[in-house]
Amino acid sequence: MTRFAWLALALLGAALVPAWLGGSELLPRLMAFDTGLLLTLLGMIVLCWVINALRLRLLLGQHGATLGRVRSLGVVMATEFAICTTPGGSGGPLTLMTLLARERIGPARSGAVFAMDQLNDLLFFFCAMLAIAGYALFHSLGRSQEGLLLGSALLLCSALALVLMLMRYRRAMMRFNGQVLRRLGMSALRRRRWARKLLHFIDALAQTWRLPRRTLALVFSLTCAHWGLRYSVLYLVLQGLGVELAWIPSFLVQMLSLSAGQFSLLPGGAGAAELTSASLLAPMVGSPTAAAAILIWRAVTYYFYLLAGGPVFVCLLARPLLARWRRQAG
């Protein structure tokens, strides 16, 4: 119950940010927003789920054929619901491993798939930053947009450097972790067990890397399609509100806002993402428009994930656990 209360408090704080920013002009702007465009935006999110389900099946290799299209879609929706309701998205990989374990896919394999999925996302953002930097060389950007670009580049380079260091010095990191666990009083048997699990994960990740190049290229293409759709939502929302803002600054606003939400460790970044996007977007389009755009954007890319993913999460994960507890109690 504490977790749900914390989530409700975060959602309330997130809703108050645009309400305070927009004031009395917020509601008329929301009422004037085209319903057809809103349905189109929701359809884009559904398409994102379908794309991610296909990515999951491709990364699973021969196991993906047994998972099925509908089941993989449910796994994706439940996993993203868990990401949206846990601090820093920590519940996402646990949910994915739990659901795939029921398909007789081991945690090392499912963990490797999740890691590979995240690496594809990171590669997409790196390529996007390079493309935007190239665009900036031949087109003049405003000072605020240049600041957004610099902040996004620093954030992305830091994440890439961290990943490369972990991959390059993985053996040293394993020894360091063993020393830390020993000082914490963990027995040698448990330390060896954790080391074996980590080695199994590294081996599964290497197997994923050895998938056919055509498959890996298709996975990356689907990654680009997914994030292209997802990061076009705010741009289309602003268009629907009558604001002519280029796609690039809207992309940078979303990237920095969602990154701030992740670092805040709030469920789904609720509150932190709204505050960051408000501070970045309001100087460009004005406070009332920014407030309406943020509310619609988050409704499509966050609240819709909760409303649609919640029932799927309960059906796939919570309901079987409740049934097991009832059988044990009986």
pTM (2 d.p.): 0.84
**DSSP for 210-267?**
TS-HHHHHHHHHHHHHHHHHHTTHHHHHHHHTT----HHHHHHHHHHHHHHHHHHTSB
Per cent of the chain over pLDDT 90 is 26
Distance CA 99, CA 67 (A): 11
Assess whether pLDDT exceeds 80 at residue 215. Answer: yes
Residue 300 class from Cβ within 10 Å (0-12 exposed, 13-18 middle, 19+ buried)? buried
**Mean predicted confidence (pLDDT) in 214-230:** 94
C-beta atoms surrounding 130 within 10 Å = 12
Residue whose structure tokens are 């605020």: 144
Give the model confidence (pLDDT) of 40-51 as tens digits: 999 999 999 999
Residue 327: band (very low, low, confident or very high) from pLDDT cuts 50, 70, 90: low
Confidence of residue 329 (pLDDT cuts 50, 70, 90): low
pLDDT digits (tens, 9 = 90+) for 153-204: 777 777 777 767 766 666 677 676 766 767 777 676 776 776 677 766 777 7
pLDDT confidence of residue 6: 61
The stretch 106-128 carries a mean pLDDT of 86
Checking if the pLDDT of 230 tops 80, the result is yes
CA-closest candidate to residue 244, choices 285, 297, 292: 285
Assign 1 a pLDDT band (cuts: 50, 70, 90): very low
Judge whether 13 and 271 are in contact, CB under 8 Å.
yes
Through-space distance between the first and last CA atoms of the chain, rounded to whole angstroms: 25
pLDDT higher than 70, residue 7: no
Cα angle at 149 between 146 and 151, to 5 degrees? Answer: 110
Q: Which of 15-19, 47-51, 206-210, 216-220 has the lowest mean pLDDT?
A: 15-19
Q: What digits encode the pLDDT tens for the residues 258-308?
A: 887 777 777 777 778 888 888 888 888 888 888 899 999 999 999 999 999
Place 91 in a pLDDT band, splitting at 50, 70 and 90.
confident
Task: Give the Cβ contact number of residue 260 at 10 Å.
Answer: 21
Rounded to the nearest integer, the mean pLDDT of the chain is 81
